[in-house]
Amino acid sequence: MGTLRLDGGQVGGWLQLPGSATAELMGSVGFDFVCVDQQHGLVGDDALLPMLQALRATGTPSLVRVTANEPAAIGRALDRGADGVIVPLVDSPEEADAAVAACHHPPRGSRSYGPTRVNWMGERPAPLCVVMVETTTAVAALPRILEVDDIDGIFIGPSDLALGARLPLDGGPEHDELVASIIGACRDAGIPVGIYCASAAHVHLYRDMGATFTAMMSEATMLRAVATEHLLSARRTGR
């Protein structure tokens, strides 16, 4: 079983469709981790458990992007055996501290003790708490967010960031500058920093800016792109 690390150029996969078979398939590809997205993906709590089991069977560490910065959502993902969580829309040090607290039992945090599955999974490292910076409010608060104890990583949401900053969704120089400033601040603070990538080219772009980890677009996006490409190619007249 691989250990979840986010500080050394890791490239992750992203799952939005419920199903243990696609989770197992993506786990078999060799990603450094795979994130199951409960915020914008279609994965409810009942589908989450078999997906985490499938990822574990392939030896791939798992992250879950939870629905919201709420202790119940974070606790349910961790009780099902996620190696860490990505918490969306964290705007302040107080919200970041609440996310960290929800990941850890007392004395560090306030996570409730209920080791149902975790009981038979054996000894494991403490779960990682990754908070998302994806609003202009969060960018303004970033220096103070980075001072919160026990944050294991920052994850940038490029689309929400663009919407909030009134920038084009497909990026551009101003968006690049904004992302580079977030990455630079995280690197200066010694905190792993990652970003969601719409293509392999974006992985290279953001890695060159200093991102320590990246997550590639979801299996749903990949499937649709490849299906469309094959259909267009099949319908093309001539060869």
State the residues that interact with ligand 3PY by CB under 6 A: 134, 157-160, 196
- Binding partner of residue 158 among Mg ion, ligand 3PY, none, CB under 5 to 8 Å per kind? ligand 3PY
Under 8 Å between Cβ of 234 and 213: no
Based on CB atoms, which residue is closest to ligand 3PY, 73 or 79? 73
Q: Is 91 in the site for Mg ion (CB under 5 A)?
A: no
Q: Which two tokens stand for residue 57?
A: 């069977």
Based on CB atoms, which residue is closest to ligand 3PY, 53 or 221? 221
Q: Is 157 in the site for Mg ion (CB under 5 A)?
A: yes
- Binding partner of residue 196 among Mg ion, ligand 3PY, none, CB under 5 to 8 Å per kind? ligand 3PY
Rounded least distance, CB 227 to ligand 3PY, Å: 21
State the first-to-last Cα distance of the chain, in angstroms, to the nearest integer: 45
Rounded least distance, CB 221 to ligand 3PY, Å: 11
Measuring CA to CA, which residue among 102, 49, 50, 36 is closest to residue 80?
49
Under 8 Å between Cβ of 5 and 16: no
Rounded least distance, CB 167 to ligand 3PY, Å: 12
Q: Which two tokens stand for residue 34?
A: 């795979």
Based on CB atoms, which residue is closest to ligand 3PY, 48 or 196? 196
- Interface with Mg ion (CB under 5 A), residue total 3
Based on CB atoms, which residue is closest to Mg ion, 24 or 134? 134
Catalytic residue among 40, 105, 175, 204: 40
Look up 40 and say whether it is catalytic.
yes
Which 103-142 positions form the footprint of Mg ion (CB under 5 A)? 134
Could you give the CA distance from residue 19 to residue 41 in angstroms, rounded to a whole number?
12
Based on CB atoms, which residue is closest to ligand 3PY, 126 or 198? 198
Could you give the CA distance from residue 93 to residue 22 in angstroms, rounded to a whole number?
36
Rounded least distance, CB 155 to ligand 3PY, Å: 8
Rounded least distance, CB 25 to ligand 3PY, Å: 20
Long-range contacts, 140-147 (Cβ 8 Å, 24+):
141/91, 141/92, 141/93, 142/182, 142/185, 142/186, 143/185, 144/92, 144/93, 145/90, 145/92, 145/93, 145/96, 146/185, 146/186, 146/189, 146/191, 147/93, 147/189
Rounding to the nearest 10 degrees, give the CA dihedral for residues 146, 148, 152, 156.
-40
Interface with Mg ion (CB under 5 A): 134, 157, 160
Give the residue numbers annotated as catalytic, written as ranges: 40
